[in-house]
Structure 1
Amino acid sequence: MPNFNNLQYASEPGSPTSPSEDWAQATADLIVVLDGATARTETGCSHGISWYAEHLGKSLLLAAADTTLSLVGVAKSAISRVACLHPECDLTHPGTPSAGIAMLRPDGRYFVLGDVAIVAESTDGIAVIVDERVSQTGVAERAEVDHYLIGTPEKAAALLPMKRAELAARNIPGGYWIAAADPAAADHALVGHLGLDDGAPVAVLTDGAARAEVFGLLDWAGLLDLAVAAGPLELIQRVRAAENSDPLGAKWPRNKASDDATMVTASVAS
Protein backbone atom coordinates (compact mmCIF):
# COMPACT_ATOMS: atom_id res chain seq x y z
CA MET A 1 0.00 0.00 0.00
CA PRO A 2 1.32 3.50 -0.76
CA ASN A 3 1.98 6.00 2.00
CA PHE A 4 3.14 9.56 2.45
CA ASN A 5 6.68 10.38 3.42
CA ASN A 6 8.84 13.53 3.51
CA LEU A 7 5.94 15.28 5.23
CA GLN A 8 6.45 19.00 5.78
CA TYR A 9 4.08 21.47 7.42
CA ALA A 10 3.89 25.22 7.96
CA SER A 11 1.14 27.51 9.19
CA GLU A 12 1.00 31.20 10.07
CA PRO A 13 -1.96 33.25 11.30
CA GLY A 14 -2.94 36.20 9.19
CA SER A 15 -2.83 38.49 12.24
CA PRO A 16 -0.54 38.33 15.26
CA THR A 17 -3.47 39.34 17.47
CA SER A 18 -5.99 36.70 16.32
CA PRO A 19 -5.81 32.92 16.49
CA SER A 20 -5.53 31.08 13.21
CA GLU A 21 -8.73 29.57 11.88
CA ASP A 22 -6.79 27.04 9.79
CA TRP A 23 -6.07 23.50 11.00
CA ALA A 24 -3.95 20.73 9.53
CA GLN A 25 -2.49 17.36 10.35
CA ALA A 26 -0.90 14.64 8.29
CA THR A 27 -0.05 10.99 8.76
CA ALA A 28 1.45 8.37 6.47
CA ASP A 29 -2.10 7.56 5.35
CA LEU A 30 -3.92 10.89 5.21
CA ILE A 31 -3.42 14.64 4.81
CA VAL A 32 -6.16 16.86 6.26
CA VAL A 33 -6.24 20.65 5.91
CA LEU A 34 -9.09 22.91 7.04
CA ASP A 35 -9.80 26.58 6.51
CA GLY A 36 -12.34 28.06 8.89
CA ALA A 37 -14.68 30.54 7.21
CA THR A 38 -14.33 34.08 8.53
CA ALA A 39 -17.30 35.19 10.64
CA ARG A 40 -18.42 38.74 9.89
CA THR A 41 -21.92 38.35 11.34
CA GLU A 42 -23.46 36.66 14.37
CA THR A 43 -23.02 32.88 14.36
CA GLY A 44 -25.37 31.57 17.03
CA CYS A 45 -22.35 29.75 18.49
CA SER A 46 -20.32 30.66 21.56
CA HIS A 47 -17.24 28.69 20.55
CA GLY A 48 -15.81 30.46 17.51
CA ILE A 49 -14.31 29.45 14.19
CA SER A 50 -10.95 28.25 15.53
CA TRP A 51 -12.72 25.90 17.94
CA TYR A 52 -14.88 24.54 15.13
CA ALA A 53 -11.96 23.97 12.75
CA GLU A 54 -9.87 22.24 15.42
CA HIS A 55 -12.65 19.92 16.56
CA LEU A 56 -13.71 19.14 13.01
CA GLY A 57 -10.12 18.32 12.06
CA LYS A 58 -9.67 15.98 15.01
CA SER A 59 -13.02 14.35 14.26
CA LEU A 60 -11.99 13.77 10.65
CA LEU A 61 -8.88 11.94 11.81
CA LEU A 62 -10.93 9.81 14.18
CA ALA A 63 -13.42 8.91 11.47
CA ALA A 64 -10.67 8.22 8.92
CA ALA A 65 -9.31 5.45 11.15
CA ASP A 66 -12.21 3.39 9.82
CA THR A 67 -10.71 2.50 6.45
CA THR A 68 -14.02 1.08 5.23
CA LEU A 69 -15.43 4.61 5.07
CA SER A 70 -15.18 6.67 1.91
CA LEU A 71 -13.84 10.20 2.35
CA VAL A 72 -17.41 11.44 1.98
CA GLY A 73 -18.37 9.10 4.81
CA VAL A 74 -15.45 10.36 6.89
CA ALA A 75 -16.60 13.95 6.42
CA LYS A 76 -20.23 13.13 7.25
CA SER A 77 -19.23 11.33 10.43
CA ALA A 78 -16.98 14.19 11.54
CA ILE A 79 -19.52 16.93 10.83
CA SER A 80 -22.15 15.02 12.81
CA ARG A 81 -19.78 14.43 15.71
CA VAL A 82 -18.87 18.12 16.04
CA ALA A 83 -22.53 19.12 15.90
CA CYS A 84 -23.09 16.84 18.89
CA LEU A 85 -20.28 18.57 20.80
CA HIS A 86 -22.17 21.87 21.08
CA PRO A 87 -25.92 21.21 21.01
CA GLU A 88 -26.47 24.24 23.25
CA CYS A 89 -25.54 26.48 20.29
CA ASP A 90 -28.00 27.44 17.55
CA LEU A 91 -26.76 25.17 14.77
CA THR A 92 -29.58 26.34 12.50
CA HIS A 93 -28.23 29.90 12.52
CA PRO A 94 -27.31 31.08 8.99
CA GLY A 95 -23.84 32.01 10.23
CA THR A 96 -23.11 28.85 12.22
CA PRO A 97 -19.34 28.15 12.12
CA SER A 98 -18.09 26.43 8.99
CA ALA A 99 -14.85 25.33 7.39
CA GLY A 100 -13.47 24.20 4.08
CA ILE A 101 -11.94 20.72 4.03
CA ALA A 102 -9.36 19.02 1.86
CA MET A 103 -8.35 15.39 2.39
CA LEU A 104 -5.89 13.34 0.36
CA ARG A 105 -4.96 9.67 0.62
CA PRO A 106 -1.62 8.39 -0.75
CA ASP A 107 -3.49 6.17 -3.21
CA GLY A 108 -4.76 9.38 -4.84
CA ARG A 109 -8.30 9.54 -3.41
CA TYR A 110 -9.26 13.11 -2.64
CA PHE A 111 -12.07 15.16 -1.09
CA VAL A 112 -12.37 18.95 -1.40
CA LEU A 113 -15.22 20.98 0.09
CA GLY A 114 -14.69 24.74 0.17
CA ASP A 115 -11.68 26.79 -0.84
CA VAL A 116 -8.81 24.51 0.19
CA ALA A 117 -6.60 23.32 -2.69
CA ILE A 118 -4.80 20.11 -3.57
CA VAL A 119 -1.86 20.27 -6.00
CA ALA A 120 -0.09 17.13 -7.15
CA GLU A 121 2.24 15.84 -9.82
CA SER A 122 -0.08 13.22 -11.26
CA THR A 123 0.34 10.78 -14.11
CA ASP A 124 -1.57 13.30 -16.26
CA GLY A 125 0.63 16.26 -15.32
CA ILE A 126 0.12 18.89 -12.63
CA ALA A 127 -3.33 18.34 -11.11
CA VAL A 128 -5.06 21.14 -9.21
CA ILE A 129 -8.26 20.47 -7.28
CA VAL A 130 -9.87 23.74 -6.18
CA ASP A 131 -13.49 24.31 -5.20
CA GLU A 132 -14.26 27.78 -6.55
CA ARG A 133 -18.01 27.76 -5.94
CA VAL A 134 -17.85 30.12 -2.96
CA SER A 135 -16.10 32.81 -5.02
CA GLN A 136 -18.92 32.62 -7.56
CA THR A 137 -21.49 33.82 -5.01
CA GLY A 138 -22.26 37.44 -4.19
CA VAL A 139 -20.43 38.55 -7.32
CA ALA A 140 -21.72 42.13 -7.27
CA GLU A 141 -21.05 42.44 -3.54
CA ARG A 142 -17.50 41.10 -3.95
CA ALA A 143 -16.82 43.58 -6.74
CA GLU A 144 -18.04 46.41 -4.50
CA VAL A 145 -15.66 45.33 -1.72
CA ASP A 146 -12.74 45.34 -4.16
CA HIS A 147 -13.38 49.00 -4.98
CA TYR A 148 -12.07 50.06 -1.56
CA LEU A 149 -8.69 49.93 0.11
CA ILE A 150 -8.06 47.71 3.12
CA GLY A 151 -8.70 49.51 6.41
CA THR A 152 -11.13 52.08 5.08
CA PRO A 153 -14.61 52.47 6.58
CA GLU A 154 -16.09 51.95 3.12
CA LYS A 155 -14.49 48.53 2.79
CA ALA A 156 -15.56 47.50 6.27
CA ALA A 157 -19.13 48.50 5.45
CA ALA A 158 -19.10 46.68 2.10
CA LEU A 159 -17.87 43.44 3.65
CA LEU A 160 -21.13 42.95 5.57
CA PRO A 161 -23.50 42.68 2.57
CA MET A 162 -20.88 40.55 0.84
CA LYS A 163 -20.87 38.12 3.76
CA ARG A 164 -24.66 38.08 3.92
CA ALA A 165 -24.84 37.27 0.20
CA GLU A 166 -22.30 34.51 0.73
CA LEU A 167 -24.20 33.03 3.66
CA ALA A 168 -27.46 33.15 1.69
CA ALA A 169 -25.86 30.86 -0.90
CA ARG A 170 -24.26 28.48 1.60
CA ASN A 171 -25.18 24.80 1.39
CA ILE A 172 -28.03 25.22 -1.07
CA PRO A 173 -28.38 24.03 -4.68
CA GLY A 174 -26.84 26.55 -7.04
CA GLY A 175 -24.69 27.99 -4.28
CA TYR A 176 -21.63 26.52 -2.62
CA TRP A 177 -21.05 23.78 -0.08
CA ILE A 178 -18.95 23.77 3.06
CA ALA A 179 -18.74 21.83 6.31
CA ALA A 180 -21.03 23.38 8.93
CA ALA A 181 -23.72 21.58 10.97
CA ASP A 182 -25.40 19.41 8.32
CA PRO A 183 -23.41 16.33 7.20
CA ALA A 184 -25.33 16.26 3.91
CA ALA A 185 -23.03 19.02 2.62
CA ALA A 186 -20.32 16.36 2.20
CA ASP A 187 -22.33 14.79 -0.62
CA HIS A 188 -21.53 17.86 -2.72
CA ALA A 189 -17.75 17.76 -2.34
CA LEU A 190 -15.31 17.44 -5.21
CA VAL A 191 -14.16 13.82 -5.01
CA GLY A 192 -12.10 11.63 -7.27
CA HIS A 193 -8.84 9.79 -7.74
CA LEU A 194 -5.47 11.14 -8.85
CA GLY A 195 -2.90 8.91 -10.49
CA LEU A 196 0.16 9.26 -8.24
CA ASP A 197 3.38 7.48 -9.12
CA ASP A 198 6.04 6.52 -6.61
CA GLY A 199 7.80 9.69 -5.49
CA ALA A 200 5.06 12.03 -6.72
CA PRO A 201 5.04 15.34 -4.79
CA VAL A 202 1.73 16.62 -3.40
CA ALA A 203 0.61 19.69 -1.52
CA VAL A 204 -2.58 20.63 0.33
CA LEU A 205 -3.01 24.30 1.20
CA THR A 206 -5.47 26.93 2.37
CA ASP A 207 -6.31 29.94 0.23
CA GLY A 208 -4.01 32.13 2.32
CA ALA A 209 -1.03 30.12 1.03
CA ALA A 210 -2.58 29.82 -2.42
CA ARG A 211 -2.23 33.61 -2.75
CA ALA A 212 1.17 32.80 -4.25
CA GLU A 213 -0.71 31.64 -7.35
CA VAL A 214 -3.52 34.20 -7.12
CA PHE A 215 -1.01 37.07 -6.96
CA GLY A 216 0.91 35.62 -9.91
CA LEU A 217 4.07 35.01 -7.89
CA LEU A 218 4.16 31.40 -9.12
CA ASP A 219 2.04 29.12 -11.25
CA TRP A 220 0.72 25.93 -9.64
CA ALA A 221 3.68 23.85 -10.86
CA GLY A 222 6.15 26.42 -9.53
CA LEU A 223 4.28 26.63 -6.25
CA LEU A 224 4.52 22.86 -5.79
CA ASP A 225 8.20 22.78 -6.77
CA LEU A 226 9.14 25.57 -4.38
CA ALA A 227 7.17 24.19 -1.44
CA VAL A 228 8.63 20.69 -1.84
CA ALA A 229 12.22 21.87 -2.42
CA ALA A 230 12.41 24.75 0.05
CA GLY A 231 9.56 23.88 2.38
CA PRO A 232 6.04 25.27 2.90
CA LEU A 233 7.31 28.02 5.19
CA GLU A 234 9.34 29.50 2.34
CA LEU A 235 6.22 29.69 0.20
CA ILE A 236 4.22 31.35 2.98
CA GLN A 237 7.03 33.86 3.59
CA ARG A 238 6.95 34.83 -0.08
CA VAL A 239 3.23 35.42 0.20
CA ARG A 240 3.78 37.53 3.32
CA ALA A 241 6.43 39.60 1.52
CA ALA A 242 3.99 40.27 -1.32
CA GLU A 243 1.20 41.19 1.12
CA ASN A 244 3.51 43.54 3.01
CA SER A 245 4.44 45.26 -0.25
CA ASP A 246 0.76 45.99 -0.89
CA PRO A 247 -0.77 46.55 2.58
CA LEU A 248 -3.84 48.44 1.31
CA GLY A 249 -4.72 45.96 -1.44
CA ALA A 250 -4.20 48.45 -4.27
CA LYS A 251 -2.26 45.98 -6.44
CA TRP A 252 -4.00 42.81 -5.29
CA PRO A 253 -7.55 43.65 -4.12
CA ARG A 254 -8.55 41.38 -1.24
CA ASN A 255 -10.64 41.30 1.91
CA LYS A 256 -7.75 40.99 4.38
CA ALA A 257 -4.23 42.36 4.20
CA SER A 258 -2.96 38.93 5.31
CA ASP A 259 -4.88 35.69 5.65
CA ASP A 260 -4.20 32.57 7.69
CA ALA A 261 -1.89 30.45 5.55
CA THR A 262 -1.32 26.72 5.96
CA MET A 263 0.37 24.14 3.77
CA VAL A 264 1.31 20.46 3.96
CA THR A 265 3.61 18.81 1.43
CA ALA A 266 4.61 15.19 1.02
CA SER A 267 5.74 12.63 -1.51
CA VAL A 268 4.14 9.27 -2.27
CA ALA A 269 6.04 6.09 -1.50
CA SER A 270 4.87 2.71 -2.75
Structure 2
Amino acid sequence: MFLTGATVPGGDASNEDWMAATPDLIVVLDGATVRTETGCHHGPAWYTRKLGASIIAIAADRQLALPDVLAAAIVDVANLHPECDLQRPGAPSAAVGIVRVQDKALHYIVLGDVTIVADTTAGLEVISDHRVSKTAAAERALADQYPIGAPEKADALIAMKRVELDAQNREGGYWIAAAVPAAVEHALVGEFDAAAVRQFALLSDGASRLVDDFQTTTWEEALDLLANSGPTELIRRVREIEDADPLGERYHRNKKSDDATAIYASTR
Protein backbone atom coordinates (compact mmCIF):
# COMPACT_ATOMS: atom_id res chain seq x y z
CA MET A 1 0.00 0.00 0.00
CA PHE A 2 1.31 3.43 -0.99
CA LEU A 3 0.67 6.22 1.54
CA THR A 4 1.22 9.96 1.45
CA GLY A 5 -0.06 12.71 3.71
CA ALA A 6 0.14 16.37 4.62
CA THR A 7 -1.07 18.57 7.46
CA VAL A 8 -1.01 22.37 7.33
CA PRO A 9 -2.05 24.78 10.10
CA GLY A 10 -4.76 27.28 9.32
CA GLY A 11 -2.75 30.20 10.66
CA ASP A 12 0.04 31.10 13.05
CA ALA A 13 -1.30 29.11 15.99
CA SER A 14 -0.39 25.48 16.68
CA ASN A 15 -1.85 22.92 14.32
CA GLU A 16 -4.69 21.20 16.21
CA ASP A 17 -4.93 18.42 13.63
CA TRP A 18 -2.81 15.27 14.00
CA MET A 19 -2.03 12.44 11.65
CA ALA A 20 -0.06 9.21 11.66
CA ALA A 21 0.34 6.17 9.44
CA THR A 22 1.91 2.77 9.97
CA PRO A 23 1.88 -0.16 7.52
CA ASP A 24 -1.56 -1.20 8.80
CA LEU A 25 -3.05 1.81 10.64
CA ILE A 26 -3.97 5.34 9.59
CA VAL A 27 -5.20 7.99 12.03
CA VAL A 28 -6.46 11.55 11.47
CA LEU A 29 -7.57 13.71 14.41
CA ASP A 30 -9.08 17.19 14.34
CA GLY A 31 -9.05 19.10 17.63
CA ALA A 32 -12.22 21.08 18.31
CA THR A 33 -11.85 24.86 18.25
CA VAL A 34 -11.94 26.48 21.69
CA ARG A 35 -14.09 29.61 22.07
CA THR A 36 -15.24 29.37 25.70
CA GLU A 37 -13.81 28.53 29.11
CA THR A 38 -12.64 24.91 29.12
CA GLY A 39 -11.85 24.01 32.72
CA CYS A 40 -8.56 22.60 31.39
CA HIS A 41 -5.15 24.20 30.99
CA HIS A 42 -4.35 21.91 28.05
CA GLY A 43 -5.46 22.87 24.58
CA PRO A 44 -6.67 20.96 21.51
CA ALA A 45 -3.16 20.53 20.10
CA TRP A 46 -2.03 18.81 23.31
CA TYR A 47 -5.14 16.67 23.30
CA THR A 48 -4.81 15.44 19.71
CA ARG A 49 -1.14 14.60 20.16
CA LYS A 50 -1.77 12.62 23.33
CA LEU A 51 -4.87 10.90 21.93
CA GLY A 52 -3.10 10.03 18.69
CA ALA A 53 -0.09 8.54 20.46
CA SER A 54 -2.39 6.50 22.71
CA ILE A 55 -4.39 5.19 19.74
CA ILE A 56 -1.22 4.03 17.99
CA ALA A 57 0.06 2.30 21.13
CA ILE A 58 -3.22 0.58 22.04
CA ALA A 59 -3.93 -0.49 18.45
CA ALA A 60 -0.77 -2.59 18.56
CA ASP A 61 -3.00 -5.17 20.27
CA ARG A 62 -4.69 -6.42 17.13
CA GLN A 63 -7.20 -8.40 19.16
CA LEU A 64 -8.89 -5.11 20.08
CA ALA A 65 -11.50 -3.80 17.65
CA LEU A 66 -11.21 -0.15 16.67
CA PRO A 67 -14.08 1.04 18.92
CA ASP A 68 -12.32 -0.60 21.88
CA VAL A 69 -9.02 0.98 20.85
CA LEU A 70 -10.54 4.46 20.69
CA ALA A 71 -12.49 4.06 23.95
CA ALA A 72 -9.35 2.93 25.77
CA ALA A 73 -7.36 5.83 24.31
CA ILE A 74 -9.98 8.34 25.49
CA VAL A 75 -9.72 6.95 29.03
CA ASP A 76 -5.94 6.89 28.79
CA VAL A 77 -5.73 10.59 27.93
CA ALA A 78 -8.34 11.59 30.51
CA ASN A 79 -6.12 9.95 33.12
CA LEU A 80 -3.22 12.16 32.04
CA HIS A 81 -4.87 15.34 33.38
CA PRO A 82 -7.10 14.49 36.35
CA GLU A 83 -6.54 17.98 37.73
CA CYS A 84 -8.65 19.44 34.92
CA ASP A 85 -12.45 19.76 34.96
CA LEU A 86 -13.20 17.25 32.23
CA GLN A 87 -16.92 17.33 32.93
CA ARG A 88 -17.14 20.82 31.45
CA PRO A 89 -18.35 20.62 27.82
CA GLY A 90 -15.57 22.92 26.60
CA ALA A 91 -12.82 20.53 27.74
CA PRO A 92 -10.46 19.45 24.93
CA SER A 93 -12.01 17.16 22.32
CA ALA A 94 -11.37 15.91 18.82
CA ALA A 95 -12.99 14.36 15.78
CA VAL A 96 -11.44 11.01 14.86
CA GLY A 97 -10.95 8.92 11.74
CA ILE A 98 -9.09 5.59 11.85
CA VAL A 99 -8.53 2.90 9.21
CA ARG A 100 -6.87 -0.41 10.01
CA VAL A 101 -5.85 -3.08 7.50
CA GLN A 102 -6.48 -6.49 9.03
CA ASP A 103 -7.73 -9.93 7.96
CA LYS A 104 -8.08 -8.90 4.29
CA ALA A 105 -10.37 -6.01 5.25
CA LEU A 106 -10.17 -2.27 5.78
CA HIS A 107 -11.81 -1.60 9.14
CA TYR A 108 -12.80 1.98 9.91
CA ILE A 109 -14.22 4.16 12.65
CA VAL A 110 -15.31 7.79 12.39
CA LEU A 111 -16.31 9.90 15.38
CA GLY A 112 -17.05 13.48 14.38
CA ASP A 113 -16.49 15.24 11.09
CA VAL A 114 -13.32 13.59 9.84
CA THR A 115 -14.09 12.12 6.39
CA ILE A 116 -13.09 8.77 4.90
CA VAL A 117 -13.65 8.44 1.16
CA ALA A 118 -13.03 5.09 -0.53
CA ASP A 119 -12.95 4.20 -4.21
CA THR A 120 -14.26 0.64 -4.37
CA THR A 121 -15.30 -1.75 -7.10
CA ALA A 122 -18.90 -1.11 -5.99
CA GLY A 123 -18.53 2.67 -6.31
CA LEU A 124 -17.48 5.60 -4.17
CA GLU A 125 -18.16 5.45 -0.42
CA VAL A 126 -17.99 8.58 1.76
CA ILE A 127 -18.11 8.22 5.53
CA SER A 128 -18.38 11.30 7.73
CA ASP A 129 -20.49 12.47 10.64
CA HIS A 130 -21.74 16.04 10.27
CA ARG A 131 -24.11 16.05 13.23
CA VAL A 132 -22.14 18.85 14.86
CA SER A 133 -22.97 21.20 11.97
CA LYS A 134 -26.68 20.57 12.55
CA THR A 135 -26.53 21.93 16.10
CA ALA A 136 -27.04 25.61 17.02
CA ALA A 137 -28.69 26.27 13.64
CA ALA A 138 -30.06 29.71 14.52
CA GLU A 139 -26.78 30.79 16.07
CA ARG A 140 -24.80 29.57 13.06
CA ALA A 141 -27.08 31.48 10.70
CA LEU A 142 -26.53 34.65 12.71
CA ALA A 143 -22.75 34.23 12.74
CA ASP A 144 -22.80 33.72 8.95
CA GLN A 145 -24.27 37.20 8.52
CA TYR A 146 -21.03 38.86 9.63
CA PRO A 147 -17.68 38.99 7.84
CA ILE A 148 -14.69 37.13 9.26
CA GLY A 149 -12.85 39.38 11.69
CA ALA A 150 -15.85 41.53 12.63
CA PRO A 151 -16.44 41.93 16.41
CA GLU A 152 -20.07 40.98 15.86
CA LYS A 153 -19.01 37.69 14.31
CA ALA A 154 -16.71 36.91 17.24
CA ASP A 155 -19.58 37.48 19.68
CA ALA A 156 -21.96 35.40 17.56
CA LEU A 157 -19.45 32.54 17.38
CA ILE A 158 -19.13 32.41 21.15
CA ALA A 159 -22.92 32.26 21.48
CA MET A 160 -22.99 29.53 18.81
CA LYS A 161 -20.27 27.55 20.57
CA ARG A 162 -22.13 27.57 23.87
CA VAL A 163 -25.24 26.09 22.26
CA GLU A 164 -23.14 23.61 20.28
CA LEU A 165 -21.38 22.44 23.45
CA ASP A 166 -24.74 21.87 25.12
CA ALA A 167 -25.37 19.23 22.44
CA GLN A 168 -21.98 17.53 22.77
CA ASN A 169 -22.00 13.80 23.51
CA ARG A 170 -25.71 13.54 24.16
CA GLU A 171 -28.69 12.09 22.36
CA GLY A 172 -30.03 14.39 19.67
CA GLY A 173 -26.68 16.19 19.49
CA TYR A 174 -23.32 15.08 18.21
CA TRP A 175 -20.54 12.75 19.37
CA ILE A 176 -16.83 13.42 19.65
CA ALA A 177 -13.77 12.11 21.49
CA ALA A 178 -13.50 13.96 24.81
CA ALA A 179 -13.43 12.48 28.30
CA VAL A 180 -16.30 9.96 28.10
CA PRO A 181 -15.50 6.69 26.27
CA ALA A 182 -19.21 5.90 25.83
CA ALA A 183 -19.26 8.42 22.96
CA VAL A 184 -17.57 5.72 20.87
CA GLU A 185 -20.82 3.75 20.92
CA HIS A 186 -22.22 6.39 18.54
CA ALA A 187 -19.33 6.31 16.06
CA LEU A 188 -19.67 5.23 12.44
CA VAL A 189 -18.04 1.81 12.25
CA GLY A 190 -17.65 -0.58 9.34
CA GLU A 191 -15.32 -2.36 6.98
CA PHE A 192 -14.51 -2.85 3.31
CA ASP A 193 -13.20 -5.94 1.57
CA ALA A 194 -9.59 -4.89 1.03
CA ALA A 195 -9.54 -6.49 -2.41
CA ALA A 196 -12.42 -4.24 -3.47
CA VAL A 197 -10.73 -0.94 -2.49
CA ARG A 198 -8.55 0.72 -5.12
CA GLN A 199 -7.73 3.88 -3.15
CA PHE A 200 -8.98 5.84 -0.16
CA ALA A 201 -8.31 9.00 1.82
CA LEU A 202 -8.84 10.43 5.30
CA LEU A 203 -9.38 14.18 5.63
CA SER A 204 -10.02 16.63 8.44
CA ASP A 205 -12.83 19.10 7.76
CA GLY A 206 -10.29 21.80 6.91
CA ALA A 207 -9.29 19.70 3.88
CA SER A 208 -12.68 18.21 3.02
CA ARG A 209 -14.19 21.70 2.72
CA LEU A 210 -12.95 21.72 -0.89
CA VAL A 211 -15.81 19.30 -1.56
CA ASP A 212 -18.20 19.73 1.37
CA ASP A 213 -18.24 23.51 1.77
CA PHE A 214 -16.84 25.10 -1.39
CA GLN A 215 -18.30 22.42 -3.69
CA THR A 216 -15.77 23.27 -6.39
CA THR A 217 -14.64 19.66 -6.60
CA THR A 218 -16.39 16.29 -6.48
CA TRP A 219 -15.07 13.43 -4.37
CA GLU A 220 -14.04 11.60 -7.55
CA GLU A 221 -12.04 14.65 -8.62
CA ALA A 222 -10.56 15.03 -5.12
CA LEU A 223 -9.28 11.45 -5.18
CA ASP A 224 -7.82 11.98 -8.65
CA LEU A 225 -6.10 15.12 -7.38
CA LEU A 226 -4.69 13.26 -4.38
CA ALA A 227 -3.50 10.40 -6.59
CA ASN A 228 -1.85 12.59 -9.21
CA SER A 229 -0.66 15.64 -7.26
CA GLY A 230 -0.79 14.63 -3.61
CA PRO A 231 -2.33 16.00 -0.42
CA THR A 232 -0.23 19.17 -0.46
CA GLU A 233 -1.84 20.25 -3.73
CA LEU A 234 -5.33 19.55 -2.44
CA ILE A 235 -4.67 21.72 0.60
CA ARG A 236 -3.10 24.42 -1.59
CA ARG A 237 -6.32 24.61 -3.60
CA VAL A 238 -8.30 24.95 -0.38
CA ARG A 239 -6.07 27.87 0.65
CA GLU A 240 -6.38 29.44 -2.79
CA ILE A 241 -10.17 29.61 -2.45
CA GLU A 242 -9.92 30.87 1.14
CA ASP A 243 -7.47 33.60 0.14
CA ALA A 244 -9.82 34.74 -2.63
CA ASP A 245 -12.65 35.04 -0.09
CA PRO A 246 -10.90 36.29 3.08
CA LEU A 247 -14.05 37.69 4.73
CA GLY A 248 -16.18 34.62 4.08
CA GLU A 249 -18.68 36.54 1.98
CA ARG A 250 -19.01 33.90 -0.73
CA TYR A 251 -18.32 30.83 1.39
CA HIS A 252 -19.68 31.41 4.88
CA ARG A 253 -17.39 29.94 7.52
CA ASN A 254 -16.24 30.58 11.06
CA LYS A 255 -12.63 31.47 10.25
CA LYS A 256 -10.71 32.24 7.09
CA SER A 257 -8.60 29.08 7.16
CA ASP A 258 -8.77 25.93 9.24
CA ASP A 259 -6.08 23.36 9.98
CA ALA A 260 -6.14 20.95 7.05
CA THR A 261 -4.97 17.34 6.96
CA ALA A 262 -5.21 14.69 4.25
CA ILE A 263 -3.78 11.18 3.98
CA TYR A 264 -4.10 9.34 0.67
CA ALA A 265 -3.63 5.58 0.22
CA SER A 266 -3.44 3.51 -2.94
CA THR A 267 -3.89 -0.24 -2.60
CA ARG A 268 -2.83 -1.03 -6.16
Q: Report the TM-score range of the alignment, normalised by the length of the smaller protein.
A: over 0.9
- Cα deviation for residue 268 of structure 1 reads 2.3
Sequence identity of aligned pairs in percent?
Answer: 55
Question: Alpha-carbon deviation of 1:198?
Answer: 6.2
Unaligned runs of 5+ in 1: none
List aligned pairs for 1:126-165, cutoff 5 A: 126-165=124-163
Match of 2:110 in 1: 112
**Of the candidates 184, 187, 210, which is equivalent to residue 182 of structure 2?**
184
Q: Report 1:1-270 matches (<5 A).
A: 5-15=1-11, 17-106=12-101, 107-197=105-195, 200-213=198-211, 214-268=213-267
Q: Is the 8 A contact 1:122 1:196 kept in 2?
A: no
* CA distance in 2 between partners of 1:103 and 1:199 (Å): 16
Quote how far apart the aligned CAs of 1:193 are.
Answer: 1.3
Question: Which residue identity is paired with 2:181?
Answer: P
Work out whether residues 124 and 195 of structure 1, in 8 Å CA contact, stay in contact via their aligned partners in 2.
no
Q: What is the distance in 2 between the residues matched to 1:124 and 1:43?
A: 44
1:73: Cα distance to partner? Answer: 0.1
1:245 Cα deviation from its structure 2 partner: 0.3
1:199 deviation in Å?
Answer: 6.4
CA deviation after TM superposition for structure 1 residue 202, in Å: 0.8
Measure, in 2, the Cα distance between the counterparts of 1:199 and 1:170: 33
Instruction: State how far apart, in whole Å, the 2-side matches of 1:28 and 1:266 are.
Output: 11
Contact map agreement 1:23 1:53 (CA 8 A) in 2: yes
Contact persistence 2:227–2:264 (CA under 8 A):
yes
The answer (yes or no) to whether the contact 1:150–1:256 under 8 Å persists in 2 is yes
1:107-127 Cα deviation digits (max 9, x unpaired): 221100001000110232111
Contact 1:22 1:261 in 2 (8 A): yes
CA contact (8 A) 1:123 1:196 kept: no
User: What secondary structure, in the 3-state scheme, does the structure 2 residue paired with 1:44 have?
Assistant: coil
Question: How much does 1:56 deviate?
Answer: 0.3
Distance (whole Å) between structure 2 residues aligned to residue 163 and residue 144 of structure 1? 12
Q: CA deviation at 1:63?
A: 1.0
Deviations 1:206-240 (A, max 9, x none): 00001110202211111111112110000000000
Distance in 1 (alpha carbons) for counterparts of 2:196 and 2:23: 14
Q: 1:194: Cα distance to partner?
A: 2.3
User: What is the distance in 2 between the residues matched to 1:155 and 1:199?
Assistant: 43
Structure 2 SS opposite 1:266:
strand
2-structure distance, mates of 1:64, 1:41: 33
Separation (CA, whole Å) in 1 of partners of 2:29 and 2:197: 25
Structure 1 residues 1-59: Cα deviation after superposition (integer angstroms, max 9, x where no partner): xxxx21101010000x2001000001111110000000000111111110001000010
CA distance in 2, matches of 1:37, 1:173: 19
**Structure 2 gaps, min length 5:** none
Task: Name the TM-score, length of structure 1 as normaliser.
Answer: 0.95
> Structure 2 CA distance, aligned partners of 1:249 and 1:197?
42
Higher mean displacement: 68-77 or 119-128: 119-128
Aligned-partner SS, 1:43: coil
- Count of residue correspondences: 264
The letter of the residue matching 1:40 is R
SS at match of 2:115: strand
Letter in 2 for 1:187: E
Instruction: Provide runs of 4+ in structure 1 moved above 6 Å.
Output: none
1:72–1:186 contact (8 Å) kept in structure 2: yes
